[in-house]
Amino acid sequence: MPKLQGFDFWRTTLKGARYVVAPMVDQSELAWRMLSRRHGAHLCYTPMLHAQVFVRDSNYRKENLYNDVCPEDRPLIAQFCANDPEVFVQAALLAQDYCDAIDLNIGCPQMIAKRGHYGAFLQDEWDLLHKMITVGNERLSVPITCKIRVFSEIDKTVKYAKMLEKAGCQMLTVHGRTKEQKGPLTGVASWEHIKAVRKAVSIPVLANGNIQYLSDVERCIQETGVLGVMSAEGHLHNPALFEGRNPPVWEMAEEYLEIVRLYPCSLSYIRAHLFKMWHHTLQVYQGLRDELAKVKTIAGVEEVNRELKRCCQEEMANQVEGEKPKGGLPFPHWICQPYVRPGPKKLPVENGDRSTEAKTGSKRALEDEEGNPEFLSKNKLKKKARNPHKNFDLAQKPKYAKCEQCGNPKGNKCVFSLCRGCCKKKAFKETADCPGHGLLFKTKFEKSLKWKNAENEGMMNEDKAGGHIQTDSITAQLNGTESGNVM
């Protein structure tokens, strides 16, 4: 079939999707996608996949896509982060038979994206993005889509979107925040930017940001003119968001755990989902938080959910009629809440004397996050308390050279100057040794040859010995015959 494009792709392949669940690392696995579809989601994405790892690691492909094939899990878009056109296309070619489109993530603002050189940290490299999308659009049998963040300037954001459309992008998801808007600086997403992009391009546009209720979805569609709305955090806190319901937290947990029985996933994913849904309830019942953190099986998680349900129902029975929810929540804590981003918090005194702007709760500069010992994060402060001699100064830490093939840290003693994964492939292909990584393909091959040669020599010696015995027997018989003849 010819590859559908633009609005034809949205109408036919995506079935006019309006309610969309965002791609989330370790949070949009098959079980969660199936729960989402039961409760109103029209379109789901895979978790963000690393293109380079997807190409080189067959187990990664199986765990994150191939083993999750389910006829009911469609339409589905697979999202990749990448910074190399060929690697991106190779990964997409391996994935295209298992999804309806390939999405290029150029919207992730996290530090891991900065270090890996992908996500929103590619948004200034227009030539690279143009090439990645163009090559992908030419070689893939499914459409290319993009998820982006905006620039501060609306005009630049519009030019950016037009460039992606021209390169071959068939659908844009616009998160109305800049890459600097994260953590305490997240703030409100700009629907004005999204509206301007929607008017400027001739491909479908989805909006992302500021969604707490189903009414927000409808209002966003009306104000911006987009075809659909994507939700991430809001949907994690209330999986029934697209139904316009706010059910009890244990009800959603019970259903999710039933689906997990059908479509197993990592226990860490399950915990993460329940911590989100139970966020406010676990602040009331701290013991259950500890129990959830300790359990090792799904049965254990189900038992924690039953105990949470019992506690909440007892509290409901004792609730005074007309009593307002505590903590300023719109609903009692046992109800799935709309997600409200917390405001800026004052930084701990231990972080040192900061500028006036920093003391008001502004996000640390990216350079500070890179390891400046004067500006330690909360987690690093905890590590420092456990080990006062621990050093966080990157300037005093050894610099790790990169693998020549994939960019990961190379082995210090690797004879090929590669990381272990790349070294293993090269050593196997060339039948070589790398003592630094403990890979002895050449040595083992030579040993196997010696063993085979020794075995062959042994067999030959046995044949020779057998031949001598047989010859001696024949000679003896002949001698006997001759003697008989003489007689």
Q: Rounded CA gap, 63 and 265, in Å? A: 9
Torsion angle defined by CA atoms of residues 95, 172, 243 and 326, in that order, rounded to the nearest 10 degrees: 110
DSSP 174-206: EESS-TT--GGG-----HHHHHHHHHH-SS-EE
Burial of 291 (0-12, 13-18, 19+ CB in 10 A): middle
The number of C-alpha atoms within 13 Å of 110 and in the hemisphere containing its C-beta is: 8
CA 376 from chain center: how many Å?
A: 26
Q: Rounded CA gap, 430 and 57, in Å? A: 19
Q: Any idea which residue has 């272990």 for tokens?
A: 420
Closest CA to 31 of 281, 273, 334, 197: 273
Q: Answer for the pair 133, 163: CB distance below 8 angstroms, yes or no.
A: no
Q: Rounded CA gap, 290 and 288, in Å? A: 5
Q: Rounded CA gap, 335 and 253, in Å? A: 12
Among residues 44, 81, 99, 108, the one annotated as catalytic is 108
Q: Examine the residue annotation and report whether 108 is marked as an active-site residue of this protein.
A: yes
Strand pairing class (144-149; 43-45): unpaired
Q: Rounded CA gap, 28 and 45, in Å? A: 7
Helices (H) and strands (E) in the chain, counts: 21, 11
DSSP 289-306: HHHHHH--SHHHHHHHHH
- Residues marked as catalytic: 108
